[in-house]
Amino acid sequence: MERDKTINERKGLAVNKDEIVIHIKGLKKSFGSKRVLKNINLDVHRGEDVVILGRSGTGKSVTIQCIIGMLIPDGGELTVFGSEVIEMDERELKELRTKIGFLFQSSALYDSMTVRENLEFPLTRILRIKDQREIDKRVKEALDGVDLADAIDKMPSDLSGGMRKRVGLARTLIVNPEIMLYDEPTAGLDPVTSREISELILQMQKKYKTTSIIITHDMECVSITADRVVVMDDGQYIAEGSFDEIKKSKNEIVRSFFKPML
C-alpha cells in the first residue's frame, strides 16, 4: 500500500476507482487450434497504470491488440469507455482509436518520414489541424517532452533504439490519448536506457494524465510504472496485486520473474 501511495504521489494523480475505462470479462481468442486467451478478466480504472507481466507467447500482446480492435476476440466481453469493442463498426472503431495511444515494441516510426513528419502525421490526419504554427508548436512541445528537440529533422534510421522509443512515445502522446497501451516499451534496450524510458513513461503519464496498460517482462519497468501488476500465463491470469504483493507471491511462475532481482 505504501508503495502504491508513493507511485501515485510521484505521478501526481489519483486512481479513480469509480470509473472503469476498460472492462474485460471472460475474453477468449484462438489462432487456429491454438487457444491464446482462455479466460481473461480485467478492469482498468481511470488514471490507473496496470502492468501485464508474463512470459513470451502467453497472450499479453494479444490482449491489448483486442482492446484496440486490431484483433477480434472469439468470446467474452470487452468494453472501452462503456462501449463494446466487438460490436463497433469501422467508424466507431476509428473514433475509439483516436482516444487510445499504442506504443509498439518496434516503435513503428514511419521510416520514409523525418521525425518532424512522423509527429505531424497524427496531428494532420487524426486531429485534422490545419494551422502550421499550431502544428509546429505541438511538435516542438512533444519533442521537448522526450528531450529530443535536436532530432526534429533526422530520419528514423539515424536514431538509436532509445531515441526511436522516445520519438514513438512523443508521436503517440501528441494527440493526448486518454488510454495508453505500451507493448514491451523497454524490449531490446540496455538497462540504463530501459530505466530512462520507464521513468519517461511515468513522467508522461503524469503530464498527460493517461490510463495505461503496459506489457513487459522488464521488472525494473514494472517497479517504476505499475499501480497494479497482473501476471499472465498460458492465456489466463495467475496473480494480481501491487508490485510488493506480487513480489511476495508463492506461485513458482510469478517468483521466477523476480529471480534475477533477488
Could you list the residues that contact other proteins (CB under 8 A)? 32-33, 68-70, 94-95, 97-98, 100-102, 104-106, 108-112, 121-122, 125-126, 172, 175
Q: Name which of 99 and 195 has its Cβ closer to other proteins.
A: 99
- Give 197's Cβ-side CA count (13 Å radius): 33
Helix (H, G, I), strand (E, B) or coil at 41: strand
Q: Residue 101 in contact with residue 80, Cβ under 8 Å?
A: no
Q: Are strands 83-84 and 75-80 parallel, antiparallel or unpaired?
A: antiparallel
In angstroms, the first-to-last Cα distance of the chain is 21
Q: Residue 225 in contact with residue 48, Cβ under 8 Å?
A: no
In the complex, least distance from residue 208 CB atom to other proteins, rounded to whole angstroms: 15
Q: Name which of 127 and 152 has its Cβ closer to other proteins.
A: 127
In the complex, least distance from residue 93 CB atom to other proteins, rounded to whole angstroms: 9
184 CB-near residues (< 8 Å, 6+ apart): 61, 105, 215, 216, 217, 218
In the complex, least distance from residue 106 CB atom to other proteins, rounded to whole angstroms: 6
Q: Name which of 174 and 229 has its Cβ closer to other proteins.
A: 174
**Which pairs count as long-range contacts for 151-159, CB under 8 Å and 24+ apart, including other chains?**
151/115, 152/114, 152/115, 152/116, 153/114, 153/115, 153/116, 154/114, 154/115, 155/111, 155/113, 155/114, 155/115, 156/107, 156/109, 156/110, 156/111, 156/113, 156/115, 156/118, 157/111, 159/109, 159/115
In the complex, least distance from residue 206 CB atom to other proteins, rounded to whole angstroms: 23
In the complex, least distance from residue 99 CB atom to other proteins, rounded to whole angstroms: 9
Q: Name which of 43 and 92 has its Cβ closer to other proteins.
A: 92
Work out the angle between the directed axes of helices 161-173 and 191-208 (0-180°, nearest 10): 10
In the complex, least distance from residue 104 CB atom to other proteins, rounded to whole angstroms: 5
In the complex, least distance from residue 224 CB atom to other proteins, rounded to whole angstroms: 25
Q: Name which of 71 and 253 has its Cβ closer to other proteins.
A: 71
